[in-house]
Structure 1
């Protein structure tokens, strides 16, 4: 950052102040629209199957939305502090502000909000993002922030995550973010496959895929936590206060979703072993099994007599349509007189 004469560096261009990731907002909107659409057709389902359908759809949509949203979230590790710190380079003026740090799988996000917002004849409300995902150059974005005149607290935190920083945070969080994101994509594919299997007569395999979804979600937490364990956070001193980070909402949502998937997967596997009929009723597959029993006697299953077809009933095999009794009375044959016996001619003596 440089000064031109007696003029301090300035922030060129509009300030991004939208606090929420638009990608996560789009994902939540899409899944919420699917839920509203299903609720619209829910009254057409009769009986207690309506409750079963509602539980299955709401649970499945929550798992899918959470798995996809946390992958793009920047709140895996968060920290926030109120401090009195410098505002611009080459200036002794200080401000009272709230500084926030959000670490995600694809980069960091730094916020600076004045208390109050209007100070030094300026609106102090900044939201800067620095990314290290594939196709992005973190060092280049940091240099652009220097040229743009970003305030000192933002540049101080961003400098701690540069590749050349002695803290060594860049390499660890970048690799951990890549591996965690990859495992989340695998978990999302397992969730899709579980929904396909649950709609088929393969409930046990759907439970396996749901269990795999939970395992990959927990594995993504392990990758991200490794970065914080192997590389402790450097002391972040902002004026008169220090900023400390902790696990954010995305971390806890991923943990809760992973545990939920593991519990549901194990429940499906246990129910398939001890109560398979009730499990089929819950997934609305009891009718399919009855039809298979009727159509497949060669599998060796005994059929109830009321399910036997006309071909299988031995008593009906000899009845044909041509042998149906006629409604017309039978015609009587005319009575014939008895025939006289023929006499043999008498012989003459």
Structure 2
């Protein structure tokens, strides 16, 4: 290609891009399917319990979907800049492009989109990922990008996150991402336990698990924030402009979900303390069972005995029991050695 007058990069062509992360799309699709399934059950629920049940299902599914989706999201920190920069290595030609950087818990994603998208007789639209999660080598992926001929702005940003770069961004974000991801998995398990406990007569412990879910979500934010607050961020200059990194949507969704879990957990604990009956009604655990249709007005069921109240007077009873004689009647005459067992005893006169 050099003999024909072409310059780097020798890139086979732009990758097909998807409007969002495929893993997050799958997670959201699964939870939306569960929501639609539960909504189909609503016509079988009577009265105001239908509204309570819908509110519980929507809130619980939102917490679970948000906790799981942000763990795989690549938008914990984002940055975007429109600049005039070089496009190919060993070439003085420059382009106007929009460069984006998304930092997640498992790696980074770099986008390069031309403005306009068609420049230098090429379609400038690139989306490259570099992973540092377990089982993946960031340095090897960077070398593969060099061999493939990725555009110069993408290589510049990717090189800032290599393990040997003086900026030390790789160590900061990699360790923070590992700890934040592990904390999010613990939060997801606490969410599962809270659903189990809130469906049983253990509502206060379900509130405790909601508090634990919110606490671990906040801990994940603290772990990730340590990557940027404890050490200054290395400057990222692209042509005539600088790229500044700020908190992404995943960070704020995690914060909102954590605060929501803490608020709901406190509400459950306070209601269990001051209004336990209303809390049981909200979770459909009031404990009031309707009597069977075959039961009479005096009895609760076939095997339900009716006991006399201690304050009830003996005269209010329907059946009066005769008192047993205190003394036996004296027997007159000789006692027969063999008596007829079928003969009724004579009454005393």
1:146 counterpart residue number? 146
1:133 counterpart residue number? 133
Structure 2 SS opposite 1:254: helix
Q: Work out the CA distance in 2 between the residues paired with 1:176 and 1:317.
A: 79
Residues 268-318 of structure 1 show CA distances to partners (whole Å, capped at 9, x for unaligned) of 0000000000000000000xx345xxxxxxxxxxxxx97697524245898
How does 1:265-276 map onto structure 2 within 5 Å? 265-276=265-276
Post-superposition offset of 1:86: 0.3
How does 1:172-321 map onto structure 2 within 5 Å? 172-286=172-286, 289-290=287-288, 310-314=304-308
Q: Check the 8 A contact 2:299/2:305 in 1, yes or no.
A: no
2:119 pairs with 1:119: yes
Post-superposition offset of 1:230: 2.1
2:6 counterpart residue number? 7
Q: Check the 8 A contact 2:299/2:306 in 1, yes or no.
A: no
How does 1:11-22 map onto structure 2 within 5 Å? 11-12=11-12, 15-22=15-22
Q: Aligned in 2, Cα 1:13/1:125: closer, same or farther, shift over 3 Å?
A: closer
Q: Check the 8 A contact 2:14/2:125 in 1, yes or no.
A: no
TM-score by length of 2: 0.83
2:84 counterpart residue number? 84
Q: Check the 8 A contact 1:168/1:231 in 2, yes or no.
A: no
Structure 2 SS opposite 1:190: helix
Structure 2 SS opposite 1:68: helix
2:66 pairs with 1:72: no
Residues 138-187 of structure 1 show CA distances to partners (whole Å, capped at 9, x for unaligned) of 00000000000000000000000000000000001000000000000000
Structure 1 SS opposite 2:40: helix
Q: Work out the CA distance in 1 between the residues paired with 2:284 and 2:273.
A: 18
Count of residue pairs brought into register by the alignment:
304
Post-superposition offset of 1:233: 1.6
Comparing 307-316 with 28-37, greater Cα deviation is found at 307-316
Post-superposition offset of 1:12: 2.4
Q: Work out the CA distance in 1 between the residues paired with 2:19 and 2:148.
A: 20
User: Higher Cα Rg: structure 1 or 2?
Assistant: 1
Q: Work out the CA distance in 1 between the residues paired with 2:5 and 2:136.
A: 35
TM-score by length of 1: 0.83
Q: Work out the CA distance in 2 between the residues paired with 1:87 and 1:67.
A: 39
Runs of 4+ in 1 over 6 A off after TM superposition: 2-5, 316-319
Structure 1 unaligned segments of length 5 or more: list them. Answer: 292-304, 320-349
Q: Check the 8 A contact 2:194/2:207 in 1, yes or no.
A: yes
Post-superposition offset of 1:16: 3.8
2:62 counterpart residue number? 62
Post-superposition offset of 1:114: 0.2
